[in-house]
Chain A
Amino acid sequence: MCGHCCNSDLSLLTEVFNDMNGNGDNLISVLQKAQDIYGYLPTDVLYEIAEKTGNSPAKVMGVATFYTQFRLKKVGKYLILLCKGTACHVNGADSIEKAICEELKIQDGDTTEDGLFSLKTVACLGCCSLSPVMMINEDTYGSLTPAKTVEILREIRGREAK
């Protein structure tokens, strides 16, 4: 319907819409559940949500782009959330970002060519006393140095190459 190349399996959304009718769930929750399913929010999914929730596509897009949690592009297998909150800033988050960007040859918001890593900077992961901090998928890494960061990334890449 959107004329896009995404071709998502929209039947996966059925349950989300069924739930929605039950307890008056709002658009944000629906988008969150959809993102849990697809890993990001493909365009055809956004259109489908607009139709089923009775909102205009513009409104759905408006909400999806307002909140930083929502992703409109596919992310890599490992999503790096690098904290750039105040405590991490004071303890050198910039140098960690530089190290990641140089090692992976990507910028904030990008995904590596092989689809392994994506980098996203965020403001505070709530682990400020371990700053600088990053999360890779579910795991939190604290007290980072540029060297330690590169080591962690190479370790993951090595594991994946096997």
Chain B
Amino acid sequence: MRIVIGEGSCGIAAGAGKVHTKLSSYLVNSDIEIGIAGCIGMCFLEPIVDIYDGKKLLKRLVKVKEEDTENIAVSLRNNDFEALKKYEISTEDSVFLEKQTRIALRRCGLIDPESIDAYTSDGGYSALKKALTSMSPEEVIEEIKISGLAGRGGAGFPTWFKWNAARNSEGTEKYLICNADEGDPGAFMDRAVIESDPHALIEGMLIGAYAIGAKNAFVYVRAEYPLAIIRLQKAINEAMEKGFLGNNILGTSFSCFLKIKAGAGAFVCGEETALIESLEGKRGMPRLKPPFPAEKGYENKPSNINNVETFANVAWIIENGGKAFSSMGTENSKGTKVFALTGKIKRGGLVEIPMGLTLREVIYDIGGGIRDDKEFKAVQLGGPSGGCIPKELLDTVIDYKALNATGAIMGSGGMVVMDEGTCMVNMARFFLDFTTKESCGKCVHCRIGTKRMFEILTRITEGNGKDGDIELLEELCDGIRSGALCGLGQTAPNPVLTTIKYFRHEYEAHINEKKCPAGECAALRTYHINEEKCKGCTLCAKKCPVNAISGKVKEAHIIDITKCIKCGQCKEVCRFDAVEIK
């Protein structure tokens, strides 16, 4: 028997490391092995402990706490599986994985990410061998073309086309670069792949390097992912030792070296030309395109940049054939896509689904719908470059074209679900706050335009919105979209435009009635005590920092709204849910 603990960053944050230590201490001198895996994607159930017999999963224990470990260890020693029932995953929660189709995540959470043997014994590096020994670079590119694989970093550009361009570009020194900057706040697909199955990325990159003719490759990983960097470095070292990286890989004439470059915290460095500047050690300011990286990239040499998830699909495609990949999905979007499902969702985590499912299927069937029985309001796709999709469009299918038609984008995979308590104007303000801070400052439209939009959105949420503000926002959006130099600025208006398009009434309520329908904007809300619910416990009155609450013991209390500073502490301390926001 073997037990495996899920130790990706989120598992560890939820306490998986402590569970591991405790379990180990209780299981010394037993023949039960303890190992680790990366992230299975069921973040809402972490920490997760899987019990295996060989390769067969016997039991999956979820939300395991330190206190539970002694009990679990005793049951394991006694082979008493009945006693483990109370920790086991429910059938309801099992649905989360059952409805998924996993290609990029195929080994995530199942194998030990820190062991190359775990990868090779599961068939790893056989696709590399196949490509190097039985396919020409052109045939590799052709197979990727048949698969219909498109870039998963956001833009959805056909991968084969970029590879082909880099291959045909003049020059003998070429570079392959993996974009692991994952800047969309609220997305963690790439982190999970690197932490859970780093060799899948390396294998995909090697096949790509072979296809375009690159001898040197980089992975640009964002600084906030220390564990991903550690595991990837370990994987690179092991791959070097075993001859999958370095000179004359697998005895062929193909040689390739791989290096990690840690980013230093700048969203714009996810943009490919800014990333190249940063790789060169400079400020990450985007370059004007053309020339495209395929002609002049890193050190002005032909370069090809792909996203982590794009590469994670490559070995599978070479192994199973492009047709197997393109048989999944829709007319214009093939294969699968990974999403990081978060926000006000019941079952949040990593979801990989075939293209063509609807948003409703992902949010309700897989994600279990909205937490705390609240109403669904919108789902945000594509982060700061994307948009908010309302309830009426929940049946939109997930493919590049259909999502673009809503005004949002597929994006890199962030899927943040919002409920009735989220103010959409404030949401737009949140994203503009982000883009103003992250704008590199090179072009005027982006640097100043986003700032003006942010100011307008701020005044609206503070109750100082003016007649004509919505139209002014629309005008600014138009200008920035067409005038900005890079994708950051060009797409920055999307969160504003989609919220105006689908939630105009919320903007109008803020501006005309000075009301925030969601009750989120502090300046526009007033606190009241519901007389029927209030038990007169006096807790709120004691807590209020400005003595705005009065009332006798065991009688309903009242808030003097002229004194109230809207700090919300009364609502927080009330045990009877009697404080209401209007």
Given contacts A86-B430, A87-B343, A126-B191, A66 and B223 within 8 Å (CB-CB): no
- Cα(A142)–Cα(B9), bound, Å: 12
On chain A, the residues within 8 Å of B278 by CB distance are 28
On chain B, the residues within 8 Å of A13 by CB distance are none
Restricting to A102-151, which residues have a CB under 8 Å from any CB of B?
122-131, 133, 140-142, 145-147
CB distance B224 to A146 under 8 Å? Answer: no
CB distance B343 to A127 under 8 Å? Answer: no
Q: Scoring B residues 91 to 115 as 1 if CB is less than 8 Å from chain A, else 0, what string do you get?
A: 0000000000000000000000000
CB distance B344 to A91 under 8 Å? Answer: yes
On chain A, the residues within 8 Å of B183 by CB distance are 123
Chain A's closest residue to B386 (CB) is: A86
Given contacts A128-B340, A129-B43, A129-B349, A87 and B283 within 8 Å (CB-CB): no
Is the C-beta of A72 less than 8 angstroms from some C-beta in chain B?
A: no
Is the C-beta of B478 less than 8 angstroms from some C-beta in chain A?
A: no
CB distance B572 to A123 under 8 Å? Answer: no
Given contacts A126-B224, A131-B342, A26 and B265 within 8 Å (CB-CB): no
Chain A's closest residue to B227 (CB) is: A126
Q: How many residues of A contact B (CB 8 A)?
A: 41
Is the C-beta of B282 less than 8 angstroms from some C-beta in chain A?
A: yes
CB distance B9 to A26 under 8 Å? Answer: no
- Cα(A137)–Cα(B13), bound, Å: 13
On chain A, the residues within 8 Å of B12 by CB distance are 140
- Cα(A153)–Cα(B554), bound, Å: 34
Count of inter-chain pairs, beta carbons less than 8 A: 128
On chain B, the residues within 8 Å of A87 by CB distance are 185-186, 342-343, 416
CB B119 to nearest CB in A, in angstroms, measures: 23
- Cα(A122)–Cα(B280), bound, Å: 24
On chain A, the residues within 8 Å of B225 by CB distance are 126
CB distance A66 to B568 under 8 Å? Answer: no
Q: Scoring B residues 262 to 277 as 1 if CB is less than 8 Å from chain A, else 0, what string do you get?
A: 1111110000000000
Is the C-beta of B398 less than 8 angstroms from some C-beta in chain A?
A: no
CB distance B418 to A90 under 8 Å? Answer: yes
Restricting to B316-359, which residues have a CB under 8 Å from any CB of A?
340, 342-344, 348-349
Chain A's closest residue to B269 (CB) is: A67
A contacts, CB < 8 Å to B? 26-29, 31-32, 62-63, 66-70, 83-91, 95, 98, 122-131, 133, 140-142, 145-147
Given contacts A67-B264, A89-B430, A125 and B224 within 8 Å (CB-CB): yes
8 closest Cβ pairs, A-B complex = A26-B281, A85-B185, A129-B43, A86-B186, A67-B264, A140-B13, A124-B185, A68-B265
On chain A, the residues within 8 Å of B430 by CB distance are 86, 89
On chain A, the residues within 8 Å of B175 by CB distance are none
- Cα(A104)–Cα(B54), bound, Å: 52
Chain A's closest residue to B573 (CB) is: A147
- Cα(A151)–Cα(B262), bound, Å: 34
